[in-house]
Structure 1
């Protein structure tokens, strides 16, 4: 869109020429096709109608905007002003609260809420608003503006504003924290981690930075470190439930599940109605295999917070829970409730998809899966071209010639067994089989290889080309560092498993830093694998999975990448076909153990008897003997999967 038109509309609004702004905006909307520009135009149209006193027309445009962008905070703020214009105080408060939840930097919304709560003499609510107003007004103008930009999704602009401020105000605590938060949203995790660690070192009493650091460490799977940071907070405030919960979450990550459950129970004894703690306790119970306790915790969570989509999705994500008719009715009502957050709506829609699948109402089930995926995909940053370029770069750098001439260096330890592939391809089953062996520890999806990629400049385009200029000493150092960092997740066995599926992109790097590691490719029939991924709401990442076309493209890209590794590193990767494993368990298990250099143990056949923490969606399924019911489930939805199926037609 011509930016001059946008500027003309803005100037008209500023000059009070609202009729002109409305006319020009409508003209632009009639000729615009760019989604971002359309959203901006609808916003300006809403403002112009409101300022012109055309409230019904303003309501129409803001409703269209919210339908297009349900997380657009300023749209909800505009809706609140419209409710105020009609003296609908309750609705105004609700919309202002939604706006501040989506963008806590909206000072005008906090000021309006303070005034409205004062009129009602709601003292605690007024006090909270005052606290938020003081915080925002106390920030430097540039940092307050950058925080606003971050919440509005303008991450690169926010990043630039924040960096310019830090150049003139080095070591400013709020600016360092904000830049780290932006880095997390941009998934530049290594930079964010360094910033937070530096911020804490420079400002040891800055509690907010420590809390953000704990969250990031947990996201990166560095749970032992997260636990240590949480403990430093607890040393100062022993009974702070937020710090206790942070510590318990980290403890679940390193396998101290029963101790974590005890902490959650102690919090709930004092605060039994905290839905988020019930959820966290449920996740801990589920990881420990205490399914009945997990289900009870999830049900208590939605009892205390009826709009908790997370509670309903957590029940569905056990894969074995059957919703009651009342729960089904409540979820359907919740899915259409305008006031719930987008995240709760997404979770509810996925749960409904699973609920109706269990009832064999496949068309209705797919409708809910489709709505959930479409809403989730609006937040996705999956970029087909970026993935294709990444694969091409891997192929260029990690060529046959490269491995012929660069075959020395690296850490020689044989400890790691990597399981790679696509999510929902059967990796959890493979891990459970191997972890049932006396010489193998099961861990989780470890982020360490991805963190190394980030440190090598993966987000800045320097990786993988940078590896060509590194000396062999670096690869040995990286390999040893990987072993040191992953030691926290091991229980003393000679070998351990890292089942991060996305590592399939970085097998060349793994070969350089850990040449004696074993790599297993978990392969599943493509339609079954992709549709299983489409049904799954992942905790984070896997952004390709929320669109059928993207799923097909990603699977084909994965095949291309694995074919390259087979060519340049013959014999380094063992492919295990999920369907063959299901149909001939013992032969495939023996093949798997032979590849890993492990003697046969019957416990690997009876893997479902092994007691260990499992935190993936398949946790309950792999605690049961082999079953075949999931192999053909996708065919119940075949009429809806044309966009996916054409990728795999011969």
Structure 2
């Protein structure tokens, strides 16, 4: 038992190799030790060794039949290897053995939402609210506020009022405020809705450990590093079997919608909002050059560039993407464009923009899990949007052939022609299946997961106008 406890401690400290050794020592003594098998499965998940993770987690589930965490992890592993059917089977089995557990209802409901089974998600969340209440119940109410017709909103509001002052962590209160704001907005009580949006965002802003202004020195260094002299230097002639495509810009400008449209094309795949550039490539270059990003980009040797390309290729393989055009839709990659160009000179960058007021309101009125100031303050977001505009204005003339700009408004108002032009930019022919994106059951984890299951409509273009006076006052007051 001491060995198992120590292995668990090492895992929590992220000392994976030491933890792995100890878990395996436990299994030598008892090959059926479920906690050791679960520990090894968790290690494999962190190392992105998903096939090995499935092997260990299956065995862990056999020997820990009453524990839900191994089942959750097994479902995640199946999703990671592109097997949502198996993940669905695991989660539905978990529900069958824990019918009175709100957490499994939430997990399964989220799975249904991610894969476009909206009615199933609604039913599971409703059943989940019949379980003994817990923090996750607030999250289910929040989801139902967005799924239910206005006639059923008052009952959900009452449920939230019953929870008042019972939250164990600020994140639950933040979600509750967002849920109330969503509900009152659906009921047309806009002043009350804005009041709760303000409460939610102020509380979340209080959790943030930095401000947007703190990022200015970094972005100044970014622009100074990736100057015209950087782009004047010759690039490697890269022989690649795929074309990397990066959808960049501000959040809530339509990146998920565009991704879902494009991946209906027979030659386009996606690795989603992958942080591979900032999470693996940048740290590698910083380590090799002993210089921080972005300055490390000035000292990349041919062997370093080859390594970076291989890291990216391995990421694509992990996602089991085989199409010749591969999308990475992480909006924040706008700060990595210079590095991306150096690693992949043939990369195509699609820059999405949106009218500021509509965009700012879409961010402010949605809940982002990350405690970052521009997600929860209109003034902070205005500053972040200004930074993004400055960065993209810097790169566009330096990468004229690699960057294509498109507005969210044009995508909504004239989708077919806009998509035809985009595909031409990617050297692909138009396929009509692209416009039937809403029928897809591909996984979507972003805030737009329900919107992209519907045909295009123009309601989102003017939704913000109801709150125009509130937005303007907020921008002026802060």
- TM-score band, normalised by shorter chain: 0.7 to 0.9
Q: Which residue does 1:275 correspond to in 2?
A: 102
Query: Residue 585 and residue 378 in structure 1: after superposition, are their counterparts in 2 closer, same or farther (change >3 A)?
Result: same
Give the superposition deviation at 1:179: 4.3
2:162 aligned with 1:330: no
Tell me if structure 1 keeps the 8 A contact 2:16–2:43.
no
Instruction: Report the Cα offset of residue 612 of structure 1.
Output: 2.1
TM-score, normalization by structure 2: 0.87
Counterparts in 2 of 1:338 and 1:288: CA distance versus 1, 3 Å: closer
1:408-457 CA-to-partner distances (Å, cap 9, x unmatched) read 26664443221111221111111111011111124421121121224444
Specify the alignment match of 2:202 in structure 1. 374
Write the deviation string for residues 213-244 of structure 1: whole angstroms up to 9, x where unpaired: 849957xxx7x535633532443552533212
Deviation at 1:406, TM superposition (A): 4.5
Name 1:504's counterpart in structure 2. 334
Give the 3 Å change call, closer, same or farther, for CA 319–504 of structure 1 in structure 2.
farther
| Alpha-carbon distance, 1:646 to partner | 6.0
Which position in structure 2 is the counterpart of 1:365? 193
Deviates more, 1:547-556 or 1:336-345: 336-345
Map of 1:303 onto structure 2: 130
In the TM superposition, what are the counterparts of 1:106-145 in structure 2 within 5 Å? none
Q: Give 2:16's aligned residue.
A: 196
List per-residue Cα deviations over 1:334-354 (Å, max 9, x = no partner): 2x2235432222111111111
Correspondence for 1:629 = 459
Deviations 1:356-375, CA, capped at 9 Å, x for gaps: 11111111111111111111
- Measure, in 1, the Cα distance between the counterparts of 2:203 and 2:44: 25
1:400 positional shift:
1.1
SS of match in other structure, 2:458: coil
**Aligned counterpart, 1:466:** 296
Between stretches 265-274 and 322-331, larger displacement belongs to 322-331
> What residue number does 2:114 align with?
287
Q: Partners of 1:355 and 1:215 in 2: how far apart?
A: 41
* Counterparts of 1:614 and 1:600, CA distance in 2: 23
Residues 461-514 of structure 1 show CA distances to partners (whole Å, capped at 9, x for unaligned) of: 711111222202211221122012222324432222211111111011111112
Tell me: CA distance 1:573–1:212, structure 2 relative to 1, closer, same or farther (3 Å). farther
Paired residue total: 461
The equivalent residue for 2:226 is 398
Residue 69 of structure 1 is matched in structure 2 by none
Aligned to 1:228: 52
In structure 2, the residue matched to 1:313 is 142
Match of 1:575, SS state, is: strand
Cross-structure match for 2:407: 577
Partner residue, 1:266: 93
Q: Within 1, Cα distance between the matches of 2:40 and 2:391?
A: 35
**Contact in 2 for aligned 1:448/1:482 (Cα 8 Å):** yes
- Residue 435 of structure 1 corresponds to 263
2:245 to 417, 428, 433: 417
What is the CA distance between 1:642 and its match in structure 2? 2.9
Greater RCO structure (CA 8 Å; 6+ sep) = 2
Is the partner of 1:297 in helix, strand or coil?
helix
Partner of 1:641: helix, strand, or coil?
A: helix
Cα distance in 2 between the residues matched to 1:369 and 1:593:
38
Deviation at 1:288?
Answer: 1.8
Residue number among 594, 597, 600 corresponding to 2:430 in the alignment: 600
Structure 1 CA distance for aligned equivalents of residues 84 and 36 of structure 2: 26
Q: Matched residues in 1 for 2:39 and 2:278: separation?
A: 23
Larger radius of gyration: 1
Indicate the residue corresponding to 1:532 in structure 2.
362
Residues 646, 324 of structure 1: alpha-carbon distance in 2 compared, 3 angstrom cutoff: closer
Structure 1 residues 645 and 179: CA distance shift in structure 2, 3 A: same
The aligned residue for residue 349 of structure 1 is 177
Q: Distance in 1 between matches of 2:251 and 2:337?
A: 17
- Is 1:385 matched with 2:385? no
Residues 75 and 91, structure 2, Cα contact 8 Å, conserved in 1: yes
Query: How far is the alpha carbon of 1:178 from its aligned partner?
Result: 5.1
Question: Normalized against structure 1, the TM-score is what?
Answer: 0.65
Query: Retained in 1: the 8 A contact 2:181–2:196?
Result: yes
2:101 and 2:131 in contact (8 A); partners too: yes
Give 1:205 deviation, angstroms.
Answer: 5.6
Change (3 A) 1:453 1:315: farther
Distance (whole Å) between structure 2 residues aligned to residue 273 and residue 599 of structure 1: 51
Structure 1: gaps (5+ residues): 1-130, 140-171, 181-194
Q: Distance in 1 between matches of 2:453 and 2:146?
A: 15
Q: Partner of 1:488 in structure 2?
A: 318
What is the Cα deviation at residue 638 of structure 1? 1.9
Deviations 1:5-46 (A, max 9, x none): xxxxxxxxxxxxxxxxxxxxxxxxxxxxxxxxxxxxxxxxxx
User: What is the Cα deviation at residue 197 of structure 1?
Assistant: 4.5
State the alpha-carbon separation in 1 of the partners of residues 473 and 378 from structure 2: 6
RMSD value, Cα: 3.1
Matches within 5 A, 1:238-277: 238-240=62-64, 241-277=68-104
Quickly say closer, same or farther: Cα 1:492–1:319, change in 2 above 3 A: farther
Closer/same/farther in 2, CA of residues 231 and 337 from structure 1, 3 Å limit: farther
- Secondary structure (helix, strand or coil) at the match of 1:625 reads coil
1:158 aligned partner = none
Summarize the Cα distance change of 1:618–1:518 in structure 2 as closer, same or farther, 3 Å threshold. same
Q: Distance in 2 between matches of 1:236 and 1:415?
A: 40
Where do 5+ consecutive residues of structure 2 fail to align?
27-34
Alignment of 1:517-528 (within 5 A): 517-528=347-358
Confirm or deny: 8 A CA contact 2:112 2:118 kept in the other structure. yes
